[in-house]
Structures are given as structure tokens and as C-alpha cells.
Amino acid sequence: MGRSPCCDKSKVKRGPWSPEEDTILRNHIQNHGTGGNWIALPHKAGLKRCGKSCRLRWLNYLRPDIKLGGFTEEEDDIISSLYVNIGSRWSVIASHLRGRTDNDVKNHWNTKLKKKLSSSYNSTTTTTTTTATMTTSINLMRCSDPTTLLPKQEADYYQTIPKPIFDDSMNVADYQQPMMISNSNDANFNDNVSSFQENQGSSPNAFLMGNNYASWRDNGDGMTNSDGDFLLEDFDFRQVISEVANFNHSSQWF
């Protein structure tokens, strides 16, 4: 036996909302709140709509703090990084973007970001790029099929791999802040980077912390530390990517 529907679909209006309906819903919520009961709200407000439909309309469109307009490069970066790490948990991803809804983020991913990231993976021929593109490329390095973005199951698998952390003071790079700028003035950090170099023969500019993230800064001209000093003026990000990918699959670093 299936679940009973939340409302009688033959008695409620469906489809696009009219400006009048928007006004009624907005005024009712602003004057009375939701009352903690979306199912009863349309009746109280005088709307012939399903409670779920009212909730969706309010959350995704009428809420006063909704951010309209296109997504910024920074938002794209956050979305793609989070997607690779936690999968299609749109509400969680949206919670990291002020004024964006899960529906917004989901639509943006499905219509634009997915294609954008796939194309950036297929064109790794430049030697300098933006941080967003570099993050994307690293994420896609983990895919067995380059045309397919990381599914949640695989993302979950990578979450189970032990992750190296340089020291407590640097353990601030988590999925909420994926593009941490490295603290290269930290003595421990420099020691660890040196150790990393000696053990692996790799560039000090690529490393991981907390949740699988490479940490660096790219101002478009090269990589810098947190003070803006150049670490490497002419780096090849493809090398960085491969180092990070190798590093990511190891649990024997420090």
C-alpha cells in the first residue's frame, strides 16, 4: 500500500505561479510566518495550492534573501569541489553559498558546470590557469572515465582513504573552505614540504590537507604564498595535478 498523497491533486492548482499567488503567499508568510505547518498554510492563506508547492515556491523564489543572477567563478569553484567530495547533496552544497537554493545549485550543475568541468578536463594544454580550473582538473584525475564526473559512491570511497595533515594549525582546509591559502611562513609547514620533496621528489607547491584538497594560491601569473611572494613563477599545473593525484591515493606520507 502506497503512501497517501499530501493533498487532493484534483482540488489544487498546479503549474506556474501567478504574481497574485506570489503576493498572497509572501504577505501571509511575512505577516503570520509558516505556522510550522506547510500543509495547512495554503488553506489559511486562501491559496488553492498544495502545501509542498507553497513551501517550494517560498524557499526557491520568494524568500527575501534569495540571491538572483548568475553564479560567480568562486561559487562554481565551491560547487565543483563539494560535488567531488560529497556527491549530489545539493542542500549541503547550497548551504555553503549565501542566498542560493539547492534547486539553483542543482540546475546550475546540470546545465552548465558539468559541461564546463568536462571540457576543462579535456583541454589541459595551457601552463597557467585559474585556481578553479586547477581544482577541477585534480578532481577529474580521480575519475576512471574522463567523460564522467565522480559519482557519489566513488567520492565516498575516497573519503575513506586516510588523509595526511601537516600539523594542527594547518588543519583548517575542509570542504567548507576548499581554496585555503597555504601558510608557508609556518616552520612546521616548511619542514613538511621539504620532507615531502625529499621523499617524493615533488614540487612543494602541491600538497593535501584535511579533506583531500590541494592548497595553493594562483594569481594568474604563478603561485604565491599567503604574503603574495612567488613560490614558482612558471609552474606546470599538469605536473601539480599528477602529484596531487598520486599523493591522494597514498596513506604513507608522513
Choice between 49 and 217, CB closer to DNA: 49
> What number of CA atoms fall less than 13 Å from residue 222's CA on the CB side?
10
Q: Give, in order, the Cα–Cα distances in Å from 245 to each of 40, 52, 254.
A: 52, 43, 17
102 forms part of the interface with DNA (CB under 7 A): yes
Cell 600538497 locates to 207
From the list 148, 93, 155, the residue with the least C-alpha distance to 122 is 148
91 forms part of the interface with DNA (CB under 7 A): yes
Exactly one of 29, 85, 90, 218 binds DNA (CB under 7 A); that residue is 90
Exactly one of 23, 27, 30, 37 binds DNA (CB under 7 A); that residue is 37
Choice between 50 and 209, CB closer to DNA: 50
* Residues β-bridged to residue 151: none
218 forms part of the interface with DNA (CB under 7 A): no
Exactly one of 51, 164, 178, 204 binds DNA (CB under 7 A); that residue is 51
Choice between 18 and 126, CB closer to DNA: 18
In whole angstroms, the minimum distance from the beta carbon of 29 to DNA comes to 12
34 forms part of the interface with DNA (CB under 7 A): yes
In whole angstroms, the minimum distance from the beta carbon of 87 to DNA comes to 7
With CB under 7 A as the contact rule, which of the stretches 36-44, 122-130, 182-190, 237-245 interacts with DNA?
36-44
- Contact present, 136 and 80 (Cβ < 8 Å): yes
Give residues in contact with DNA (CB under 7 A): 2-4, 6, 9, 14-17, 34, 36-39, 50-53, 55-57, 60-61, 88-92, 102-104, 106-108, 110-112
